[in-house]
Chain A
């Protein structure tokens, strides 16, 4: 059963070990224990989801009733019995204008999710049409040395996700490019390590908001007379600066704690400094570097939402903020949709990093 072996190995490597009972059930002859395993690892977690949705539903309807009663009482106090009855009827009829605005129910969130997807389809069809329409004209404009006309319509929810992902990767890359080299240099020298320690210790706990403001001060001046996308630049740099510390600290630690035996081998062989770093020190600190990078990516994703929200740069953060400001009837449920999407993407990013981390760590018997 070679196929199932590789399948289970991949799920294992990805940290999706919890899927194993399923792969076992569908590969070969399942045993009694496999069914018990299936029950434990699949059925019970599924029940937990049902329980979660149930509590959510109960909480949402309790909040709904509370908000509705409050509205009716307010109408009674302000305008008398007739207005209160009208309000009651209005709420019961499901009319949008008088719906209590509170925590949305699971069903409402699901509906909003579908709405957002539909909205995305409409917008992307629109975009495609625009592109076809302007293709010939843009070609002429470019030939004439003018800027092509670009689509300036509202971005869809999916577009926002893509923007956020771009920003987080740019920030992550920046963090990597800054933190890994500096971490290596600091890790190599005891003196540098102790002299830069204060800087790291002070800047590490600084809140994303402050980083954003700092970056804003600098980038605003630097990009004054260029027409580059300063909101994007500001948010990705802030994300990078907030998130890089874990990588910096882990890299320095990994480099400074290379097994003494390896260092002795390098000394006996008289490896040059470059060889020593690239052949011995870096490979042996890779696992720790990747641990740092994994933390960096998850921190980057977490602060990204807050930073986008504050910097007014497009993405999931500003989506959430706009919906909150908007106050439309389905805004709250759209915010909850965004919450789930943010969580799921964060989870997937972490899994990807975990997979890479497992691949580079040499403490496993892989590659045999």
Chain B
């Protein structure tokens, strides 16, 4: 893992604080409290995490520990109770297209076609581009996720896997700085899941954006990530451990499985989850 002191380049954020320019996302003493009838429930406390530009982070942790809570706070969809989150040094104030989100359910607008669903975001982010240019962008990403023949199919008529492909295309097409994924393949069968992992990693490789993905699948976590972040169980969850995955890219499933360190990594993660 690179240490921050090796970064000589810095950028100045809105409020004048200097940040090492390689840090994309900075979660500092993050805290989240949900008020409940039985009193406040502290989900996250003193959570610190820095995520670098162009990094692929996967997050694992027990069910209910607060992974979704953390991700939705980064997305700006869930208010912060304490501490702060900065994107390139700028505090998160709300949702925005610089942080694309892929939800567990594809959440496409069912009354729109695949193309219209992608265009919904593209139109918003590139208001000055011509209609044709915007359509081309949307089509390019639909092509990338392998949906060439399905531009004009209604979202409701697509299979779960195809819907999630549209979800991926929609997220990348708005050119976010950070892509946040909350168990995006959790509902898919393992074959489709593998295909979509390949598609995701291929586009990510090309676009060079930062990705933060929650998963329950240890193999998926290792295959995709530069670093696997392990969260402790709640309440008051924080970052428990971080594992660097030093496989070179591009990776193939086969090369990863055959790598000497693979079982070492796997054991590390499973040990963490079992304690």
- Chain B residues within an 8 Å CB radius of A259: 107
Given A362-B110, A362-B111, A363-B156, check contact A264 B120 (CB 8 Å). Answer: no
Is B156 touching A362 in the complex (CB atoms < 8 A)?
Answer: yes
- Min CB distance, B180 to chain A, in Å? 9
Q: How far is the CA of A365 from the CA of B110 in the complex (A)?
A: 10
Is A265 touching B156 in the complex (CB atoms < 8 A)?
Answer: no
Quick one: CB contact mask for A348-362 with B, threshold 8 Å, 1 for yes? 000000000000001
Does B153 have its Cβ within 8 Å of any Cβ on chain A? Answer: yes
For chain B residues 111-129, which have a beta carbon within 8 Å of chain A? 111-112, 120-121, 124-125
Is A280 touching B109 in the complex (CB atoms < 8 A)?
Answer: yes
> Which residue, of A268, A270, A365, has the highest number of chain B Cβ atoms within 10 A?
A268
Does B154 have its Cβ within 8 Å of any Cβ on chain A? Answer: yes
Nearest neighbor of A367 in chain B, beta-carbon distance: B154
Main secondary structure of the interface of B (DSSP, over half): loop
Q: List 22 A-B contacts (CB under 8 A).
A: A262-B107, A262-B109, A264-B77, A264-B103, A264-B107, A265-B101, A267-B76, A267-B94, A267-B95, A268-B95, A268-B96, A268-B99, A268-B101, A269-B97, A269-B174, A270-B95, A270-B97, A279-B120, A283-B112, A284-B109, A365-B156, A367-B154
Q: How far is the CA of A280 from the CA of B107 in the complex (A)?
A: 12
Does A271 have its Cβ within 8 Å of any Cβ on chain B? Answer: yes
Q: How far is the CA of A185 from the CA of B174 in the complex (A)?
A: 30
Given A269-B121, A270-B95, A270-B124, check contact A264 B101 (CB 8 Å). Answer: yes
Nearest neighbor of B77 in chain A, beta-carbon distance: A264
- Chain A residues within an 8 Å CB radius of B157: 365, 367-368
Q: How far is the CA of A262 from the CA of B156 in the complex (A)?
A: 14
- Chain B residues within an 8 Å CB radius of A261: 103, 105, 107
Chain A contact-residue range equals 20 to 34
- Min CB distance, B137 to chain A, in Å? 14
Does B75 have its Cβ within 8 Å of any Cβ on chain A? Answer: yes
The chain B residues found within 8 Å of chain A, CB to CB, are 75-77, 94-97, 99-101, 103, 105, 107, 109-112, 120-121, 124-125, 153-154, 156-157, 174
Nearest neighbor of A282 in chain B, beta-carbon distance: B111
- Min CB distance, A16 to chain B, in Å? 25
Is A270 touching B96 in the complex (CB atoms < 8 A)?
Answer: yes
> Which residue, of A261, A265, A365, has the highest number of chain B Cβ atoms within 10 A?
A265
- Chain A residues within an 8 Å CB radius of B107: 259, 261-262, 264-265
Quick one: CB contact mask for A39-75 with B, threshold 8 Å, 1 for yes? 0000000000000000000000000000000000000
- Chain A residues within an 8 Å CB radius of B100: 268
Is A368 touching B153 in the complex (CB atoms < 8 A)?
Answer: yes
The chain A residues found within 8 Å of chain B, CB to CB, are 259, 261-262, 264-265, 267-271, 275, 279-280, 283-284, 286, 362-365, 367-368
Q: Which 5 A-B pairs have the closest CB atoms?
A: A261-B107, A362-B111, A267-B95, A283-B111, A368-B157
- Chain B residues within an 8 Å CB radius of A275: 124
- Min CB distance, A184 to chain B, in Å? 17
- Chain A residues within an 8 Å CB radius of B97: 268-270
- Chain B residues within an 8 Å CB radius of A367: 154, 157
- Chain A residues within an 8 Å CB radius of B103: 261, 264
- Chain B residues within an 8 Å CB radius of A365: 156-157
- Min CB distance, A282 to chain B, in Å? 10
Q: How far is the CA of A279 from the CA of B122 in the complex (A)?
A: 14
- Min CB distance, B178 to chain A, in Å? 11
Is B154 touching A268 in the complex (CB atoms < 8 A)?
Answer: no
Q: How far is the CA of A35 from the CA of B124 in the complex (A)?
A: 57
Q: How far is the CA of A268 from the CA of B97 in the complex (A)?
A: 6
Q: How far is the CA of A323 from the CA of B94 in the complex (A)?
A: 68
Q: How far is the CA of A364 from the CA of B111 in the complex (A)?
A: 10
Q: How far is the CA of A344 from the CA of B76 in the complex (A)?
A: 55
Is A269 touching B124 in the complex (CB atoms < 8 A)?
Answer: yes
- Chain B residues within an 8 Å CB radius of A269: 97, 120-121, 124-125, 174
- Chain A residues within an 8 Å CB radius of B105: 261
- Min CB distance, B224 to chain A, in Å? 22
Q: How far is the CA of A205 from the CA of B103 in the complex (A)?
A: 43
Q: How far is the CA of A279 from the CA of B75 in the complex (A)?
A: 22
- Chain B residues within an 8 Å CB radius of A284: 109, 111
